[in-house]
Each structure stands twice: as C-alpha cells, then as structure tokens.
Structure 1
C-alpha cells in the first residue's frame, strides 16, 4: 500500500511533468525554462529541484513512469473484459502509440535520447523501466496457448513485436511527427499479426 506522502510525491511529479509536456507542445522544449514549468505547475522552484536535476532529468524520470502507469491501468481494465488474448495484446500495443501521440513528438524524442544515454552507463535500463512489458508477454503467451497465434517461438516473436513498436516510434520521432503514429501504428499492428493467425 502506498502511503500518503508517496502519493503526494507522485502527484507532484506528475503535475510538473504534465506542465512540461503542455509547455513543450506549445513552445518547444528548448524555449521553456524551469521557471515556466513551475509557474504552470503551481509549484516552487525548490519543489522542482527536490525531485529533478534538470528539464531533461524530468523527462527521463517521469516519461516511463507515466507510460507504465498508463499501461498498467489498461492491463487492469482489460483483465475484466471478455476479449481474446490476441485482441488484448493488439489493444496494448496500440496504446503505446496513443501514449506517444499524447506526449507529443518532442517529449517522446527526448525520452528516447535520455533512455539511450542511460543505457550506455546502465545496460538493460530500458527493459527495467518498462515494467508493463510483463503484461504484454503474458498476453502473447495466452494468445499462443489459445491457438490464436500459430508461431510458438515466443521470445523471438516478442522481440520482433517490441522492435516493431520502438521502430515505428523512432521513425515518427525522426520524421518530427509528420505522420499520424496512431493510424500508421494500427496498420502496422494488423500487418504484424495477420500472417501469425
């Protein structure tokens, strides 16, 4: 059980992050200051530095926390719904593209940069941050067990799925958001799974 102080800390971090995301969408990350962020979040500069060392640190810390929370909430909702494991898996993958679109191309790009940088000093950091992937793996396993997916090389299939997701997100970042990641993602999900069923 999370205590009240921890809940307050998480809520404050998310409020600061939400302000940074909104300001970045409006003005661009390089054109906003920590002062702009704290003003929009209605917190003090001291509060910002209590949790983060810099703007980039804010993005690298909170992006994946927020992604995990979003995906874990979706996993919980899907658990109570009567849909096939394959449909749940496809819904989860689509949600990753929706999350990136919601965060915006600049924040997503900066999260990738921070994550790649962190991986140089702490290999495997990316996989440790993405705690919801166990839910994705469970749905893939269930889809294979139910005969919805004909391939049984689960580890390789999961790596291919994750590579498709990250690859599209990176392509979207490189293209500076010039295509609709959700629409393209939906087509790629269909194309990925079509030969497997």
Structure 2
C-alpha cells in the first residue's frame, strides 16, 4: 500500500474506532489512547491526524458526513424524484448518519 493510501486508511480506521468507542463508552469516557488502541495505531499517530478528541469528533461529523451525503445524493438524483420526495430522502439519510455515528457525536459537533 502506498503512503498516501496508508494515511487515508489510518484516518478511516481512527474514525471507525472513535465512532465505536463513542457509541459504546460515550464521548466523555473515551480517551485518545482508547481510540488509538482500538485503531491499532500509536497515540502519536492519532495526533498526526487530529489535534484532539474534539477535532476527531468534528472531522467525523463534517468530513464523514460530507462523504456519506455526496455518495448517497448521487443515488437520489438518479431516482428522478420530485423536490418534496428528494428532500425527504435527504432527511432520512441525515438521520441514518446520525444513528450510525451516534447522537452524542452529532450534537457535540454542531
């Protein structure tokens, strides 16, 4: 795996580890060391990608949400729905994302 690909994969692993731990333990009880351990990286590697626990929360919400929505909105566009139905589908996608990452992460990131 090339270095750029490895960095992207490490970041994804950190996102997933953080989401799992936040949903299981809660944000307050989850430490950066827990996230790094769950992602199988060193704490130093965590800090290469993120400044803090709050930083990864923002990144999960804004970056991951953006990627999730972009991919899914393309699918909605292909359905050729009227505006009302398309907006309803987009709202459902937002709720699914919030459920996946956890309400706590969603509300903290906002």
Q: TM-score range by the shorter chain?
A: 0.7 to 0.9
Please point out which of 44, 47, 70 is paired with 1:46.
44
The 3-state SS of whatever aligns with 1:102 is: helix
* TM-score normalised by structure 2 residue count: 0.86
Two-structure CA RMSD over aligned residues (Å): 1.9
In 2: Cα distance, 1:76 partner to 1:54 partner = 33
How many residue pairs are counted as aligned between the two chains? Answer: 109
1:4, distance to aligned residue in structure 2 (A)? 7.1
The answer for the alignment partner of 1:64 in structure 2 is: 62
Q: What is the 5 A alignment of 1:132-151?
A: none
**Cα drift, residue 34 of structure 1:** 1.3
Q: Mind listing any 5+ residue stretches in structure 1 that lack a counterpart?
A: 113-197
2:75 maps to: 77
**What are structure 2's unaligned runs of at least 5 residues?**
none
User: What TM-score do the two structures reach when normalised by structure 1?
Assistant: 0.50
Describe the superposition over 1:136-161 as per-residue Cα deviations: whole angstroms up to 9, x where unpaired: xxxxxxxxxxxxxxxxxxxxxxxxxx
Which residue of the partner structure matches residue 97 of structure 1? 95
Superposed displacement of residue 74, structure 1 = 0.7
8 Å CA contact retained: 1:13, 1:62: no
Q: Distance in 2 between matches of 1:9 and 1:110?
A: 26
2:85 matched residue in structure 1: 87
What corresponds to 2:28 in structure 1?
A: 30
Name the CA shift for 1:4/1:84 in 2 (closer, same or farther; >3 Å): farther
CA distance in 2, matches of 1:41, 1:90: 35
